[in-house]
Amino acid sequence: MQSIYLDYSATTPLDPRVLAAMQPYFAEQFGNSKAIHRFGHDAETAIEHARETVARCLGCSPADVVFTSGGTESDNLALRGPAQYARVHDRPFTFITGPVEHAAVAVTARQIRDTLGAALRVVPVDRAGRVDPADLRAALHSLPANGIALVSLIHANNEIGTVSPIAEYAAIAHEHGALFHTDAVQSPGHLALEVEGMGIDLLSLSSHKFYGPKGAGVLVLRQNVPYLSAQTGASHEDHRRAGTHNTPGIVGTAAALEIACAERVESAARLSNLRQRLVAGVLSTIPDAELTGDPLDRLPGHASFAFKDVLSSTLLMHLDQRGIAASSGSACKSGNEQPSAILETLGFGPQWTRGGLRLSLGRSTTSDDIATVLAALPDAVAAVRRIAAMTATP
């Protein structure tokens, strides 16, 4: 049976052009970038070249680019660095975030509150999962004098696809003297990113989300940010992230980002057409189905739904048997029968919050794939509902 992969928001395959760029750095040019010989120098040259490429793609200075092991680490460093700096300099730290952030931000924020004594303010979101700028302003009221405040709001939501106006949020944060971080892990290749133009102080990326290697990512850390690294050791990355450089991963990150930026406009237009067809088809053929997230201002290839009286994990198995690989919304939560905290936050009732489905489209998705999914999904949902009705306790 042919498999249709519709889980590009969870991860993407490595682009063969990226693999070719990485190849020499595994076994031939394997040097440690810190070493004072030719092997070390070759690795260092490749890394600095990659840094320039990443900076060019993101509209920032090469000095702002820190290579990490992925999105989770970038989020951790972005949040913990300013919080630790505040702690060491005996300044109050206030962290302002939303209720629909990825766990890499949400869990880290709570731990910073509990271990570093930071104040945590959570701004509400609307039904699309977006913070109202007026609510962000309200959350930034009466910040402690001499304190450091950091706002962190996701650019494009991984579970429901909604895109948020981060340049506007950054401007509001700055009006109140706060720093602005965004988790933009889902954005490259889909949305324009312009660090300086958007007023972003800190930004997180993960290479495997844009056809780059797993275990590699980027933290953009502007020079103005007070920062004490949570990853301590030697002086790599100008003391901002210790650890021997993953040279193939770094070279692959730059190659993948360059391709993602160059092909973004064309790819976004193609994917958003396919997604619109998918959404319209699902909503017109499946009863008690809702699109989650913003209907239009969303990731181009991202379609997410809530189905009433459906258990996502069962639906995902039914789809898998029909050759369709999908997700409930967040890679970490697939197979988990807990209600979706995000759907609860958006106001969905208990009959809906276990029934999330995310279909995320990518480079290999074709029009025929959409037709196949539209033919299979109504039956799969009906089958899951029949099972639920049979096993329901009277």
Ligand X SMILES: Cc1ncc(COP(=O)(O)O)c(C=O)c1O
Two structure tokens written together for 311:
């258990």
Two structure tokens written together for 77:
């460093």
Compare residues 185 and 380 and give the one whose CB is closer to ligand X.
185
CB of 105 to ligand X, least distance (A): 7
Compare residues 64 and 159 and give the one whose CB is closer to ligand X.
159
- According to DSSP, residue 340 is labeled P
Compare residues 107 and 167 and give the one whose CB is closer to ligand X.
107
CB of 72 to ligand X, least distance (A): 3
Q: Which of 102, 241, 275, 298 binds ligand X (CB under 6 A)?
A: 102
Q: Burial code of 155-175, b = ≥16 C-beta within 10 A, e = fewer?
A: bbbbbbbbbbbbeebbebbee
Total residues interacting with ligand X, rule: CB under 6 A? 14
Binding of ligand X by 71 (CB under 6 A): yes
Q: Give the closest residue to 207 by CA, choosing from 323, 345, 68.
A: 68
How far separated are the first and last CA of the chain, in Å rounded?
Answer: 39
Binding of ligand X by 72 (CB under 6 A): yes
Question: Binding to ligand X (CB under 6 A): which residues in 314-333?
Answer: 331
Compare residues 61 and 313 and give the one whose CB is closer to ligand X.
313
CB of 102 to ligand X, least distance (A): 4
Instruction: Provide φ and ψ at 120, rounded to 5°.
Output: -120, 120
CB of 71 to ligand X, least distance (A): 2
CB of 85 to ligand X, least distance (A): 23
- Read off the amino acid at residue 12: T
Secondary structure of residue 366 in the 3-state scheme: coil
Compare residues 31 and 213 and give the one whose CB is closer to ligand X.
213
- Residues 284 and 258: their CA atoms lie apart, in Å, by 38
Q: Which of 21, 83, 104, 381 binds ligand X (CB under 6 A)?
A: 104
Strand partners, 50: none
Q: Which helix (H) or strand (E) holds 302?
A: strand 302-307
CB of 393 to ligand X, least distance (A): 35
Q: Which of 12, 97, 186, 267 binds ligand X (CB under 6 A)?
A: 186
Q: Which residue is nearest to ligand X (CB)?
A: 71
Q: Give the closest residue to 187 by CA, choosing from 108, 264, 109, 105.
A: 264
Strand boundaries in 15-123, DSSP class E: 65-68, 93-97, 119-122
Task: Return the active site residues.
Answer: 332
Strand partners, 204: 183, 219
Question: Binding to ligand X (CB under 6 A): which residues in 137-166?
Answer: 154, 158
CB of 286 to ligand X, least distance (A): 26
Which span sits near ligand X by CB under 6 A: 71-79, 85-93, 221-229, 295-303?
71-79
CB of 97 to ligand X, least distance (A): 13
- Residues 325 and 360: their CA atoms lie apart, in Å, by 10
Secondary structure of residue 297 in the 3-state scheme: coil
Site string for ligand X, 351-370 (x = CB under 6 A): --------------------
Which span sits near ligand X by CB under 6 A: 46-54, 69-77, 244-252, 376-384?
69-77
Q: Which of 8, 46, 70, 300 binds ligand X (CB under 6 A)?
A: 70
Compare residues 87 and 180 and give the one whose CB is closer to ligand X.
180
Compare residues 43 and 156 and give the one whose CB is closer to ligand X.
156
User: Is 160 in contact with 292 (CB distance < 8 Å)?
Assistant: yes
Binding of ligand X by 107 (CB under 6 A): no
- Residues 201 and 96: their CA atoms lie apart, in Å, by 14
Q: Within 10 A of 256 (CB to CB), how many other CB atoms are there?
A: 29
Compare residues 206 and 365 and give the one whose CB is closer to ligand X.
206
Question: Binding to ligand X (CB under 6 A): which residues in 193-232?
Answer: 206, 217
Strand boundaries in 179-233, DSSP class E: 179-183, 202-206, 217-221
- Residues 277 and 335: their CA atoms lie apart, in Å, by 27
Interaction site with ligand X (CB under 6 A) = 70-72, 75, 102, 104, 154, 158, 183, 185-186, 206, 217, 331
